[in-house]
Amino acid sequence: MSRYFSSRFSGLTPYVPGEQPQDQQYIKLNTNESPYPPSPAAVEWATAHTRSLNLYSDPECRELREALGQSLGVEPDQIMVTNGSDEVLNFAFMAFCDNENPAVFPDITYGFYPVFAQVNRVPYVEIPLKEDFTVDTDALCAAEGTIFLANPNAPTGILLGLDEIARMAASRPDRVVVVDEAYIDFGGESALKLLDRYDNLLITRTFSKLRALAGGRLGYGVGSPALMQDLNTLRYSTNPYNVNSMTLSMGLAILRDKETVLHNRDSIIRVREETEAELKKRGFLVLPSSTNFVFARTPAMDGASLYQALKAKGVLVRHFTPERIRDFNRITIGTREQMQAFFRVLDEILGGRS
Ligand SMILES: *Cc1c(COP(=O)(O)O)cnc(C)c1O
């Protein structure tokens, strides 16, 4: 830390992203990216746009909002487009939390939430997941403050039903409930259909997972026009050109290419089911996943040792250190070939121990 760093941030612990190693080729199952390239049309459209890079991108992202609105069944003024969904989440902490409205989220969830709370200097309350790692809806409803809920949750992969989300939105109409739907495409029902009933719902989405555009950085929020206005006030006060024009055009191309997206979704779900079965055959406990990853532990060794042993053999998964989950590893679902390679390595490790 330099002596110039503001004391406001001296206690801040930044988010630690999953490893993106550049030194060697790993089988990379650690950051929930798509194992498939983005739609070929996306790459073509992005290239076509390099010619107009002398101009700023459209700060209103009008074309993409119109296309998104059509595909989601909402009005364009219910959508705000951002540089990944992390950005809209940060704006939500900024906009809807303060000393009277602390952020409220489960103790085991997306690791960025406590960081967003800290950087925006708002208090936060962590509600423990239940024994079976499901979300404690009653406790969230009873807590005062702005709820942030990843659904399905990460890193557990567990989906919460829509009636539970509705219960949270109804519990206190004077607070915002943010539903982070980064993984909703892999088996869940979206809270979009609740928007007509609850004007305190904010849904965040990303192109980083199923839509294979993690490196393009594209996300968005959906909610009432009034909520969007608040978020836009902050966006225009921070970075009106937050999404670059190549990424905007890639988003449009991906939206049109529904076939590739559905095909990839079906493949990932199929390989996820195979992976769950193979892990269980080897004695793993696997939490029920509605995502593109599985969260699993083996009685044969602790989570950190398994993570290290896999890494030493060229397979990257994600390990987390909090007490309750440190025997688990989060394994992204790759292609069938990648998962076969994962199991070959896993069997070497586990076989060597028995
Ligand atoms: C990946 C992820 C995000 C955000 O990803 P972006 O790349 O910023 O869109 C948000 N929430 C959860 C739970 C995630 O796993």
List residues near ligand 1 (CB under 6 A).
32, 84-86, 110, 150, 154, 180, 182, 206, 208, 214, 219
Specify the pLDDT at position 353.
61
213-260 tens-digit pLDDT:
999 999 999 999 999 999 999 999 999 999 999 999 999 999 999 999
Mutate to test the pocket of ligand 1, among 180, 183, 203 (most ligand atoms within 8 A of CB): 180
134, 161 contact by CB (below 8 A): no
Q: How far apart are CA 258 and CA 19, in angstroms?
A: 30
- Output the CA 339–ligand 1 centroid distance in Å: 23
pTM beyond 0.75, yes or no: yes
Q: How far apart are CA 336 and CA 272, in angstroms?
A: 9
Helices 225-236 and 85-96, packing angle to 10 deg: 100
Tell me the two tokens of residue 222: 């959906």
Looking at the domain covering 18-36+259-351, what would its CATH class be? alpha beta
The 3-state DSSP class for residue 169 equals helix
- Output the CA 182–ligand 1 centroid distance in Å: 6
- Mean pLDDT of the region 339-351: 97
Ligand 1 atom showing the smallest separation from residue 208 Cα:
7
CATH number of 40-256: 3.40.640.10
Q: How far apart are CA 147 and CA 127, in angstroms?
A: 10
β-strands 146-150, 103-106: how paired? parallel
For ligand 1, atom 13: residue with the closest CA: 110
Cα 169 from chain centre: 21
- Output the CA 207–ligand 1 centroid distance in Å: 9
Q: How far apart are CA 181 and CA 202, in angstroms?
A: 10
Q: Which residue ranges make up each domain of the chain? A: 18-36+259-351, 40-256
List strand residue ranges (DSSP E) for the chain, in order. Answer: 27-28, 79-82, 103-106, 124-127, 146-150, 177-180, 201-206, 219-222, 285-286, 293-297, 315-316, 329-332
Ligand 1 atom showing the smallest separation from residue 153 Cα:
13
16-60 tens-digit pLDDT:
888 888 877 899 999 999 999 998 888 888 888 777 899 999 999
349, 309 contact by CB (below 8 A): yes
With CA atoms as reference, report the closest residue to 21 among 341, 345, 317: 317
134-176 tens-digit pLDDT:
999 999 999 999 999 999 999 999 999 999 999 999 999 999 9
Give the burial string for 213-223 (b: 16+ CB within 10 Å, else e): bbebbbbbbbb
